[in-house]
């Protein structure tokens, strides 16, 4: 399916299976989300630019490769994106962070922006947009529409779960944006939930239900 990357590493699949289970506590869900996000970062950032620096080991001088974390932006779609953000920041602590707040108009189901804050000079940065569930795709598409106004060097999208409807919406609007997910589930139900899914990601992260 084009630009869709399913991270099928056994550790990722194991943690996702734990997270799907309804008995998992808020604390457990949050911890698993951080762990799975760290593992997914490994795949998502596989092609991040590196440069050589000179270093001294206790024995001699040598060169080593480093990334420029400050050139990376993790853009979290509020509110559920913050769980993935925490995991990604564990592995790239110097990354910059952006936030995009969107709510779904109950009548039209259209994503309406209420907050948008990004680091400056986005045209010099690679952006990784994070949101656990790519469901209808409305929020992801709207978030990326806005980001593209600032012409970042690249944009990737990371979620835990998606479905054919979400992938189709993203690929129709933003075919240039690679999607990274731990699973492509069966479908979207009539209420906009991914099934079999894991329920409402925000409620499960924050214990709001």
Known binding residues for uracil are: 194, 199-201
Out of 135, 143, 170, 183, point to the residue binding ligand URA (CB under 6 A): 135
Q: Does 133 bind ligand URA (CB under 6 A)?
A: yes
Question: Segment contacting ligand URA (CB under 6 A): 6-14, 69-77, 113-121, 199-207?
Answer: 199-207
64 vs 192, beta carbon nearer ligand URA: 192
Q: Are strands 111-117 and 96-104 parallel, antiparallel or unpaired?
A: antiparallel
Instruction: Determine if 34 is a binding residue for ligand URA (CB under 6 A).
Output: no
User: 24-29 contacts: CB < 8 A, separation 24 or more?
Assistant: 24/204, 26/204, 26/205, 26/206, 26/207, 29/204, 29/205
Kindly state whether residue 16 participates in binding ligand URA, applying the rule CB under 6 A: no
Is there a catalytic annotation at residue 108?
A: yes
The CA distance from 111 to 159, in Å, is: 18
| Nearest to ligand URA of 7, 194 (CB atom) | 194
5-14: list long-range contacts, CB under 8 Å, 24+ apart: 5/43, 5/178, 5/179, 5/180, 5/181, 6/181, 6/182, 6/183, 6/184, 7/39, 7/40, 7/43, 7/180, 7/181, 7/182, 9/39, 9/43, 11/39, 12/36, 12/39, 12/40, 12/182, 13/182, 13/183
3-state secondary structure of 153: coil
Q: Is there binding between residue 165 and ligand URA (CB under 6 A)?
A: no
Out of 103, 150, 193, 206, the only residue in the binding site for ligand URA (CB under 6 A) is 193
> Nearest distance from residue 140's CB to ligand URA, in Å?
11
Q: Which of 118, 205 has the CB closer to ligand URA?
A: 205
| Between 150 and 193, CB nearer to ligand URA | 193
- Tell me: does residue 77 bind ligand URA (CB under 6 A): no
List residues binding ligand URA (CB under 6 A).
133, 135, 192-194, 197, 200-202
Active-site annotation, residues: 104, 108, 200, 203
């Amino acid at each position: 399916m084009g630009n869709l990357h399913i991270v099928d590493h056994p550790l990722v699949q194991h943690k996702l299976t734990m997270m799907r289970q309804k008995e998992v506590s808020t604390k457990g869900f949050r911890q698993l989300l951080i762990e799975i996000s760290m593992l997914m970062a490994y795949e998502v950032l596989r092609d991040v630019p590196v440069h050589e620096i000179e270093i001294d080991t206790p024995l001699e001088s040598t060169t080593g490769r480093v990334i420029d974390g400050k050139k990376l932006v993790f853009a979290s779609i509020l509110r559920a994106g913050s769980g993935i953000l925490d995991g990604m920041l564990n592995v790239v602590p110097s990354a910059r962070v952006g936030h995009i707040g969107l709510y779904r108009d109950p009548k039209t189901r259209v994503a309406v922006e209420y907050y948008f804050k990004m680091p400056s000079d986005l045209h010099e940065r690679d952006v990784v947009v994070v949101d656990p569930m790519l469901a209808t795709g409305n929020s992801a598409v709207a978030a990326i529409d806005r980001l593209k106004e600032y012409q970042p060097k690249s944009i990737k999208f990371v979620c835990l779960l998606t479905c054919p409807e979400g992938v189709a919406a993203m690929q129709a609007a933003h075919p240039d944006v690679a999607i990274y997910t731990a699973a492509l589930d069966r479908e979207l139900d009539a209420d906009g939930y991914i099934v079999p899914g894991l329920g409402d990601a925000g409620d499960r992260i924050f214990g709001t239900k």
